[in-house]
Structures are given as C-alpha cells and as structure tokens.
Amino acid sequence: MEILGIDIGFGFTKATNGKQDLIFKSVLGESTDIQFREQMLANGVAEEDYLQVEIDGKSYFVGELAERQSNVRFFTLDQAQFIGKFAKVLALTATARLVKGFVPVNLVTGLPIGSYQKHKDELAKLLLGEHKVTLVDASGKREEKSISISKVRVIPQPFGSLFNHMLNDQGDLADKRLVREKIGIIDVGFRTADYTISDKMRYSERGSRTTDSGIARGFNVIATKLRENSGVNVELYRLYEAIDRGSIKIRGKVYDLKGMTDQVFGQLATAVANEVDRLWADDWDMDAIIITGGGGAVLAKHLQPLLNGEVLSIDPKIDMRLYNVQGYCKFGQHIWGRGAAPVPAAPAPVNP
Ligand SMILES: Nc1ncnc2c1ncn2[C@@H]1O[C@H](COP(=O)(O)OP(=O)(O)OP(=O)(O)O)[C@@H](O)[C@H]1O
Ligand SMILES: [Mg+2]
C-alpha cells in the first residue's frame, strides 16, 4: 500500500509520497499533436514539465504544458466547477506520476473550510476505486497505469499545515507542544484564504472560515492595470513568474510590476489581518499562529507585523505551497502507516 497526499489547489496541484514532491499549475488543456517533439536545445525544458494524460477516453495537457501548447485551456476559480471538472484529472495525473500502478493507494486530500461539508463526500467518491490512466511522455511514448485507490481521507486544507508541524515523516508526534496549545492557522492560497483554530487538537468552528482574500484578488488588480496599459488580457495563471521577477514583457514592451505588486500585496495583507481580528476576536488566548500556503509566504512580510501574538516563523528556504500536502502525507502515515501502530516512545528532545 502506498500513502499519498494530494492538495488540489486553485492555483497549483501539489502531491507527495513523502520522498518525492510534485507541483504543477491547476490548468488543463486539450492535447494537440505536437509535430516536432525534440527540444530545440538540450537542457531546455525539464522532462517532468511534460504532463500529458488520458483519462476516461479524453486526452489532456496538464499544467505548464497546457499553458504553453493548448489552444483551448481550462482554468477556474469556481469551487463547484473545480470539483466537477478538474479535481479528478488533476489528482489522477499526480497519482499516476508518483505511484507504480497496481499497488493500492491510500490518499489524503483536502478542501477549503468553506466547502468541506458540501463537497467532501463527492470528492472522495470521485477518487475512490479503479482508474485507468495513460501517461504520455515528451517523446510520445505511452504508459498505461491501473491505479487503485482504496481509501480516501478528506480533511480541511489548513489542517495539513498543522499536521506538518506536529508529525514527523513516520506520522508520529514530533512537536507535543502544538497538541496542548491553541493554534491559529492562516492558509493563503491562490483563490482562498482559509482560517482555522486547533484548540488542544479540537477543531473550532467559530474560528474557522474561508474567504476570497487569496492572491488572485491581487493578481486581478494587476491584470486589470496591464489590460488598460497594453490592451492584452493576461490570464491570471500567467502572472506568477512575472510578478516574482518584478516585470512583464507584452508585445515587446516591458512593464514594471514591483511597485504595484508591493502595494497590492500590502492591501491584501491588511485585508487578511482584518479578517483575523474579526474572526478570532474572542480567541485572545491563542498560543501561536501559523502562516502557510504559497500566498502566505508571499504575504508574510506584510502580514506578520499586523498580527497580534506569536507567529511561528517561516523558513524562507522551503516552498510553502507544499506545506499542506506534506502534512496530508504525514497524517496518512499516522492513520494507515507505521504511525498507526503503537510505537515505543523514543526519548523526546527536552524543550526548555
Ligand atoms: N515558487 C512559486 N511559484 C509560483 N507561485 C508561488 C511560488 N511561491 C509562492 N507562490 C505563491 O503561491 C501562491 C499559490 O499558493 P498555493 O499553492 O498555496 O495556492 P493554492 O493552494 O493553489 O490555492 P487555494 O488554496 O486558494 O486553492 C501563488 O499565488 C503565488 O503568489
Ligand atoms: Mg491551498
């Protein structure tokens, strides 16, 4: 049995088996016949960027490949449509890439707090069972895989980050402190900002909510400005690299994005901090706050000074987009793996 964590985000799909991580944009496209498959130069595009799959008789380009090569591309920020049309293909693409096939897979995945009740059974049902997935590689070689998903556990997305903090790779408790304390989690993603509280490991409904204060809101402002100035409608998922770099070239003209980005992210951080203040007004006894998600990492420098209380620090070396999914995988180990069996207590490091 293989244990996988998959975080199907509006911006990026993230997956891990604990040893290997996978991340690609949550964009699908119609596959086209690519006549010239050779790379123009060696060391051009990484092999793993080529994601082509066939599922249920349909052929898709996935992620960057769809962005670059598909004439018709699909991308959504609508939850029902995301579950109905995207989740299965994105999750099975990730699964096919990470598992050998014929080995039963147990899967942990998540949903935003706000759509958890409504969609959790539907999502589990979509993924459970036998699936035939064909992977096509960059040279056109086909590999058919039989994927058998025997168990699916759906958890509220930000809990992934809590588990990632709390459990080690084997799924055993590593940080006992978090188990005894009241922890607030702020998960800023591409579309959603998710807030939740774990109070001595109990979920707090009062302190949990999903809002639209994701990075896309800031990207929208920038895309609108760019449309006004250049006449080109830049799709939101084509903005990550440009915003990261601080400039974008459209029809030969370079537009500086640094000033605007700083301003927009500052405003977004203020919106998030205000939501936190309102939502957690009665939770002044919080012990610590975790900022997570790829958007959390980007907003952290603006957001941290606006929050009251101890904020657990973010290691700038790690890719925070993977933080939830790594926790999903550890949680999978905890409930199904070695961590599920009682383990002799290892001498715990003593924290002063
Ligand atoms: N290396 C990176 N490449 C691209 N985006 C990055 C990177 N590092 C951080 N980001 C930021 O991460 C954001 C996406 O974060 P994340 O993957 O957590 O969102 P998501 O889970 O797909 O969205 P949601 O939770 O709303 O469904 C992007 O909007 C971008 O601002
Ligand atoms: Mg997310």
189 in contact with ligand 1, CB cutoff 6 A: yes
pLDDT (tens digit per residue) in 9-33: 999 999 999 999 999 999 999 998 7
Contact 295, 188 (CB under 8 A): yes
pLDDT (tens digit per residue) in 63-110: 999 998 999 999 999 999 999 999 999 999 999 999 987 889 999 999
Non-local CB neighbours of 271 within 8 Å, separated by 6+ positions: 213, 217
* C-alpha distances out from residue 127 to 31, 63, 122, 183, Å: 23, 20, 9, 31
Determine the Cα–Cα distance for residues 83 and 87; give it in Å rounded to an integer. 5
190 in contact with ligand 1, CB cutoff 6 A: yes
* C-alpha distances out from residue 314 to 86, 236, 344, Å: 31, 26, 31
63 in contact with ligand 1, CB cutoff 6 A: no
pLDDT at 314: 80
**Helix axis angle, 294-303 to 215-230, nearest 10°:** 90
**Residue 14 backbone dihedrals phi, psi, to 5 degrees:** -120, 140
> Which residue segments constitute the domains of the chain, with CATH numbers given?
2-156 (3.30.420.40), 177-316 (3.30.420.40)
Residue numbers of the chain with a pLDDT score lower than 50: 339, 341-352
25 in contact with ligand 1, CB cutoff 6 A: no
pLDDT (tens digit per residue) in 28-68: 999 987 766 666 555 555 666 899 999 999 999 999 999 98
pLDDT at 32: 82
Determine the Cα–Cα distance for residues 176 and 40; give it in Å rounded to an integer. 53
Closest ligand, as measured to the CA of 26: 1
Nearest CA to 341 out of 171, 154, 163 is that of 171
Determine the Cα–Cα distance for residues 241 and 228; give it in Å rounded to an integer. 20
Closest ligand, as measured to the CA of 86: 1
**Residue 64: strand, helix, or coil:** helix
pLDDT at 239: 94
> How far is the centre of ligand 2, averaged over its atoms, from the C-alpha of 321 (Å)?
7
pLDDT at 96: 96
Take residue 117 and report the two structure tokens written for it.
Answer: 């009740």
Determine the Cα–Cα distance for residues 188 and 194; give it in Å rounded to an integer. 6
Closest ligand, as measured to the CA of 321: 1
Phi/psi zone of residue 160: left (φ > 0), alpha (ψ -120 to 50 degrees), beta?
alpha
pLDDT at 348: 39
> How far is the centre of ligand 2, averaged over its atoms, from the C-alpha of 327 (Å)?
12
Determine the Cα–Cα distance for residues 22 and 206; give it in Å rounded to an integer. 34
pLDDT at 41: 55
pLDDT at 352: 39
pTM to 2 decimal places: 0.92
- Ligand 1 atom 15: residue of nearest CA: 294
If one counts every other C-beta atom within 10 angstroms of the C-beta of residue 225, the result is 14
pLDDT at 343: 42
Nearest CA to 321 out of 20, 69, 23 is that of 23
Terminal-to-terminal C-alpha distance of the chain: 39
106 in contact with ligand 1, CB cutoff 6 A: no
